[in-house]
Amino acid sequence: MTSLTIAGQEDIFRLARGYYTAKALLALWRMGLLEQAANGKELDVKAIAAEHGVEPERVRPLLDYLIVRGYLERVVPDVYRLTARGVDASPYFGYLSTMIGAYEPVFSRIEDLVTGKLVYGKDVVRSHEEMTRGLSALEDRLLGTVTDVVREAGARKVLDLGCGSARMLARLCALSGQMQGVGVDRDPNSCAVARETVQREGLEGRLTIVQGDAGDLAALPHTARVGVDLVTVMFLLHEILRQRGRDGTVELLRGIASLVGEGGRLVIVEVSGTSDHRYREDLLFVPEYELLHEYTNQRLAPRSEWEAMVSEAGMKVLQFAPVDMCQAFCMVAAVGGCA
């Protein structure tokens, strides 16, 4: 019979602790409270309870639990703020959505996907909206990189494939009053979030959102394609790779090359997978990231593979711009020969 060890029990308790802590933080994130706390606002239990029409006793245990786990501290009774640990974690809160919340519908039924009782895309899908909102929070740090690249390229009309919230496009439109943007996303909820961005930023007439398949450029409205001199693809190509395979992805890249033409640019922001299993365990979030992609019709590839596909499509890699996001890279390419 297996002997009972403290270490074995601790191991499982650590997992449970991580699960409950992540769920509690995710709940506050979804309620908009973590973002408020990250911006220095104190969390007032009575005010939160009143807003939701519940008793403070319903709200308080969640915040108290996060005191125990080191993320919150009490300022005075019923008023809380982030601890130093919470503040340190705050630039990364968006991962709660992109790594956990968006994939909750998938991982709460993972055994059914493994055994074939459910099929991803038919019976269960990730939450695109939660993905989009989480990414928006994380991407603030990489928007500067993309903005610099677009400014340096002197682009006038940017097409963003898989635009999500369209926050990046809105930021590019802010570069100059002449800049035009088109965002394409096939998910209606993401398009709705993108249209919220257009309205909030007052960009009607300059920034257009098209619901459609980014993998089929020819099917996009002519007005969306005409005059485009720069295409951005942020965290979409690994989805196209599964949807259309390698050949289909290279074909899309060829289509982008002919759309932007000589002097035009392609900017890719992607997460690099790894093909080397020896290093996998040491990487910060890659094993989990790869796992969720396996069950959700996406396919990561190492950076070298993306470079190979870009050159097969007749483009030349000009630059890798630094990106402050785990395992991510930003590649700038142009149609062959034009540097």
Query: CB of residue 187 vs ligand SAM: minimum separation in angstroms?
Result: 3
Residue pair 331/277 in contact (Cβ under 8 Å)? The answer is no
Using an 8 Å Cβ cutoff, are 321 and 145 in contact?
A: yes
105, 128 Cβ separation under 8 angstroms? no
Say if residues 126 and 102 touch (Cβ distance below 8 Å).
yes
Residue matched to tokens 């900017």: 267
Indicate the residue among 58 and 141 with the shorter CB distance to ligand SAM: 141
- For 42-105, what is the HEC assignment? CEEHHHHHHHHCCCHHHHHHHHHHHHHCCCEEEEECCEEEECHHHHHHHHHCHHHHHHHHCCHH
Q: How far is the CB of 39 from ligand SAM (least distance, A)?
A: 21
CB of 140 to ligand SAM, least distance (A): 11
Give me the least distance between CB of 109 and ligand SAM, in Å please: 20
Binding site for ligand SAM (CB under 6 A): 128, 131-132, 135-136, 139, 162-165, 184-187, 190, 213-215, 234-236, 239, 243
**Smallest separation (angstroms) from ligand SAM to the CB of 21:** 25
Euclidean distance between CA atoms 272 and 283, whole angstroms: 11
User: What gap in Å lies between CA 300 and CA 181, rounded to an integer?
Assistant: 27
Closer to ligand SAM by CB, 210 or 257: give it. 210
| Choice between 234 and 333, CB closer to ligand SAM | 234
Please report how close the Cβ of residue 132 comes to ligand SAM at its closest, in angstroms: 5
Judged by beta carbon, residue 101 or residue 162, the one nearer ligand SAM is 162
Which residue, 157 or 186, is less far from ligand SAM as judged by CB?
186
Name the residue nearer to ligand SAM (CB basis): 82 or 313: 313
Q: Between vectors from CA 257 to CA 254 and to CA 261, what angle results, nearest 5°?
A: 145
| Four-point Cα dihedral 189, 192, 194, 199, nearest 10 | -170
Helical segments of 154-263, H only: 167-173, 188-200, 222-225, 237-260
Least Å from the CB of residue 167 to ligand SAM: 7
Element (H, E) at 8: helix 6-30
Alpha helices in 212-285 (DSSP H): 222-225, 237-260, 277-280
Closest separation in Å from C-beta 128 to ligand SAM: 5
